[in-house]
Amino acid sequence: MATHRDQPGRTARRAVLRGLAAGTVAVAVGSSLADDAIAVNRGRSTRLPARGGAGPQAGPQAGPEAGPVEAVHVEPDPAGRRTKHNVVVVSIDDLGWHELGCYGNTFNETPHIDALAARGVLFTQAYAAAPLCSPTRAALVTGRYPARTGVTDFLRPEDAVSDNHLSTRIPTVPDVLGPLGYTTGLIGKWHLTETYSGDYAGRAGGPLAHGFDDVRLSEEKYIAEGDYFHPYRFMPSVSAVEPGEHLTDRLATEAVDFIGDHADEPFFLHLSNYAVHTDLDPRPDLLAKYAAKPGADDVPHNPELAAMLESVDRQVGAVVDALRERRIADKTLVVVISDNGGQSRPANLPLRGGKGELYEGGIRVPMIATWAGGPQRQARTVDTPVNTVDLLPTALELAGGRPRRRDRFDGISLAPLLLGDDEPLADRVGDAMFWVYPHHIGRTHPHAAIRSGDLKLVKQLRDDTVELYDVSVDEGEKNDLSARRPADTRRLRRLLDGHLREVAVLPPAPSPTSYPVDESPVAWDAADVLPVPTGSFEGQTALEGDRIRVKSGARTSYLLLRSPVAPTSGRVAAVLELGDFADRDPQLGGQQTAFVGLAVDASTYLLLRYRHDLKRVGWDLCVDGEILDAGAEPLTSLDGSVDLSAPGARYGFVLRGSKATAYADQAQGGGWEFLFTVDTGGAFDLSDRALRKRTRYAAAVRVQRGSVTLGPLTAARAR
């Protein structure tokens, strides 16, 4: 898969402004404002090649994030109470809560997983740590909420400007279990880096960079919509073991081999399936089986998904058989879990919502935990809420170790329950679980949630509205109790707001309290008018006190104003007061767009836009004359819902290093609303002092058949 890094004659996007700040990149005036447009090798990263050749080999070399690693102190359990148990976590991608036979599905066939549930623990209220894959996977390998890991959304391809990954400064499975003599393995999907070029072992945030000992069939390229038959687009170095092999079957083969290779030592294996993620592409024989079943055409039955799931079920059966053949089944815990709710909303019923949402359908998932050796411990159904973040603390206790400080983990150990002890599970902090999803997906707005006891509160991060549900009697979340139970609403809101402040995913809105140091206001008559290259500005401008009015006729006109004020910190805020959007005839069309942001010059800028005629928002990131995709997320949920035409309306942004967060005040008494965050990665990073000196606060107008009035632009920074 070609990326901009691979193409000759092009500079990697993430490095452009670093060079610009140092004066090494030539800047050409060449683009208009767009229309809506490894870190540390731990000494354990040796990889056993998969049969048939399964990708890049690890080497003992430092990666791009070399530096100190935050340590988790692990010491032996002084009581020496348990054998070092093995743990196998089988994760299934996008599996809905109601898709397994043991959870009541009568169309899909999952006999091997159902057999595990029949002699182990089936959790009826298990939760994924996030409504999407990457953040849940980060939580699984760290035992921390995604908001603490820096991975809160699915990670993008390498050609995105953002450079997000799971930092090696955060302890993961190898750091926690490795000191206890465990071999750590990953087979399958990782999806915790946006780097897909260069030496595999040195890729920032990759599994080998995190110290996993044995990594097999993990993506070398971006996984995109999935790829289930050999040759695999995202693993071009992998040779087939059998002609026409299916990826889920191949993962099973590698898992059986892993067990054989490491049966004589304690191990932790994450068998991470790419299935049943779309695009669904099952084995033809299994698809024919389900397509012929009665009810195949009835909603929510899906023969393609059922066939994909049967392949995963057979894989689980092969793993259990291998553990028994190696006579280690009695001391091996097998956990089957999904990374988030199902993509099909009807398939999640009676739960509300699905993938990408913090309603139950997006985060409540199937989870089964069973000792592979058989029914030596009593089978049971457990209604206690559990979470992905509990898996690593559980594995640590089963290994006979413990962290010196329990608050390293957000999860709790489930080992007492799984070992049949009489002692109760440790309490969660505040008896609560938290979720934060500060992103747009489809028409879903950024939101957060808390569950405490039977109550669950969902908060919209844009306008601060909340809903309260008793999920013990209303798992479909149909009856909002927030007005009828104000005391509970206040209590859970207070806990959730405290968590949001603690994880600091969202910066404070651009208020004088949070940004008290005045960077001085911008006088429009002192601003530079930068030449925008597509056409030239042909409209009319008029200064009206501290405002500037821009008007244009039939032709679209652009005006980019760069203030003389430079940001003096990497943590700044700017507020643009808007004025009239006038002179536009709806019958003739045309546009009225205002921007606020930062500019180095006419071809290098980061501008947040508000388009009034469509009442929607977005951003333009331009570097060296090229408009870049800043790891963009869909903002369709904001289309038509932002109106900044009222007197006193304001559009502002907060910049923290390389992340710009947009806020709007619609002047309707609600104050600042969070809109979105732009992660520019290394493409625009004001923590670079040299770049700050070249950057100025800026505003812009794009107008056709109308006029736009910009009010004062003020800027400030945090102390």
Same domain, 584 and 477: no
Which residues make Cβ contacts (< 8 Å) with residue 218, sequence separation at least 6?
Answer: 55, 186, 187, 188, 189, 190, 207, 235, 272
pLDDT band at 120 (very low <50, low <70, confident <90, very high): very high
For residue 538, the model assigns a pLDDT of 72
Residue 27 burial (CB count, 10 A): 16
Same domain, 466 and 553: no
User: Is it the case that residue 534 has pLDDT exceeding 70?
Assistant: no
Range of the domain at 471: 447-503
Whether 106 is covered by a domain: the verdict is yes
User: Is it the case that residue 75 has pLDDT exceeding 50?
Assistant: no
User: Is it the case that residue 297 has pLDDT exceeding 80?
Assistant: yes
Lowest mean pLDDT among 109-123, 228-242, 548-562: 548-562
Averaged pLDDT, 314-339:
97
Residue 465 CA to residue 369 CA, distance in Å, equals: 37
Whether 20 is covered by a domain: the verdict is no
**CATH number, residue 90:** 3.40.720.10
For residue 460, the model assigns a pLDDT of 95
Retrieve residue 128's tokens: 């994924």
Same domain, 552 and 452: no
User: Is it the case that residue 102 has pLDDT exceeding 60?
Assistant: yes
pLDDT band at 585 (very low <50, low <70, confident <90, very high): confident
Domain final position from 439, 468, 503? 503
For residue 60, the model assigns a pLDDT of 29
User: Is it the case that residue 105 has pLDDT exceeding 90?
Assistant: yes
For residue 184, the model assigns a pLDDT of 98
For residue 378, the model assigns a pLDDT of 66
Kindly calculate the radius of gyration of the chain based on its CA atoms and give it in whole angstroms. Answer: 27
Whether 78 is covered by a domain: the verdict is yes
For residue 528, the model assigns a pLDDT of 87
For residue 526, the model assigns a pLDDT of 87
Same domain, 117 and 245: yes
Same domain, 540 and 573: yes
Averaged pLDDT, 298-315:
96
**CATH number, residue 492:** 3.30.1120.10
Retrieve residue 674's tokens: 């969070």
Whether 600 is covered by a domain: the verdict is yes
Whether 613 is covered by a domain: the verdict is yes
- CA terminus-to-terminus distance, the chain: 44
Strand ranges (E), 178-285: 183-188, 214-216, 267-272
For residue 1, the model assigns a pLDDT of 27
User: Is it the case that residue 669 has pLDDT exceeding 90?
Assistant: no
User: Is it the case that residue 78 has pLDDT exceeding 50?
Assistant: no
For residue 686, the model assigns a pLDDT of 87
Averaged pLDDT, 56-85:
43
Whether 172 is covered by a domain: the verdict is yes
- Residue 174 and residue 209 in contact, taking contact as beta carbons nearer than 8 Å: no
pLDDT band at 27 (very low <50, low <70, confident <90, very high): very low
pLDDT digits (tens, 9 = 90+) for 593-629: 999 999 999 889 999 999 999 999 999 998 888 888 7
Same domain, 81 and 217: yes
Helices (H), 77-212: 111-119, 133-142, 146-149, 173-177
Helix (H, G, I), strand (E, B) or coil at 175: helix
Residue 337 CA to residue 278 CA, distance in Å, equals: 18
Same domain, 149 and 291: yes
**CATH number, residue 658:** 2.60.120.200
Averaged pLDDT, 369-396:
88
Residue with more model confidence, 215 or 20? 215
For residue 583, the model assigns a pLDDT of 86
Averaged pLDDT, 641-666:
94
- Residue 590 and residue 716 in contact, taking contact as beta carbons nearer than 8 Å: no
For residue 143, the model assigns a pLDDT of 96
For residue 351, the model assigns a pLDDT of 96
Beta bridge partners of 717: 517, 572
Residue 69 CA to residue 167 CA, distance in Å, equals: 9
For residue 128, the model assigns a pLDDT of 98
Note the maximum CA span of the chain.
Answer: 84
Lowest mean pLDDT among 9-23, 411-425, 532-546: 9-23
Residue 403 CA to residue 409 CA, distance in Å, equals: 9
* pLDDT winner (highest mean) among 489-498, 551-560, 616-625: 489-498
pLDDT digits (tens, 9 = 90+) for 169-213: 999 999 999 999 999 999 999 999 999 999 999 899 999 999 999
CA angle 140, 141, 147 (to 5 degrees): 70
Task: For residue 393, give Cα distances in angstroms to 64, 271, 605, 680.
Answer: 29, 18, 45, 34
Quote the mean pLDDT of the chain: 85
Look at the chain and report how many structural domains it folds into.
3
For residue 2, the model assigns a pLDDT of 27
Task: Give me the residue label for tokens 């093995």.
Answer: 86
Lowest mean pLDDT among 77-86, 190-199, 677-686: 77-86
User: Is it the case that residue 252 has pLDDT exceeding 90?
Assistant: yes
Same domain, 483 and 522: no
Same domain, 554 and 482: no
- Residue 567 and residue 686 in contact, taking contact as beta carbons nearer than 8 Å: yes
Whether 571 is covered by a domain: the verdict is yes
The whole-angstrom distance between residue 457's C-alpha and the CA centroid of its chain comes to 21
Same domain, 74 and 165: yes
Concatenate the DSSP letters of all residues of 508-549 into one string. Answer: PPS-TTTS-EE--PBPGGGSEEEPPSSS---SEEEEETTEEE
Domain final position from 371, 387, 421? 421
Same domain, 145 and 279: yes
Same domain, 554 and 612: yes
Residue with more model confidence, 708 or 633? 708
pLDDT band at 22 (very low <50, low <70, confident <90, very high): very low
User: Is it the case that residue 61 has pLDDT exceeding 50?
Assistant: no
- Residue 688 and residue 19 in contact, taking contact as beta carbons nearer than 8 Å: no
User: Is it the case that residue 8 has pLDDT exceeding 60?
Assistant: no
Task: Give me the residue label for tokens 């389900």.
Answer: 290
pLDDT band at 68 (very low <50, low <70, confident <90, very high): very low
pLDDT band at 424 (very low <50, low <70, confident <90, very high): low
User: Is it the case that residue 421 has pLDDT exceeding 80?
Assistant: no
pLDDT digits (tens, 9 = 90+) for 271-289: 999 999 988 999 999 999 9
Residue 559 CA to residue 562 CA, distance in Å, equals: 10
pLDDT digits (tens, 9 = 90+) for 498-533: 999 999 999 999 999 999 999 887 788 888 888 765
User: Is it the case that residue 431 has pLDDT exceeding 60?
Assistant: yes
Residue 126 CA to residue 414 CA, distance in Å, equals: 12
Whether 36 is covered by a domain: the verdict is no
- Residue 533 and residue 602 in contact, taking contact as beta carbons nearer than 8 Å: yes
For residue 422, the model assigns a pLDDT of 61
Helix (H, G, I), strand (E, B) or coil at 79: coil
Retrieve residue 96's tokens: 């809905």
Q: Using a pLDDT cut of 90, give the percent of the chain over it.
A: 66
Residue 184 CA to residue 174 CA, distance in Å, equals: 6
Residue 144 CA to residue 136 CA, distance in Å, equals: 10
Buried b / exposed e along 429-441 (16+ C-beta atoms within 10 A): eeebbbbbbbbbb
Which phi and psi (to 5°) does residue 693 adopt? -65, -25
The whole-angstrom distance between residue 240's C-alpha and the CA centroid of its chain comes to 31
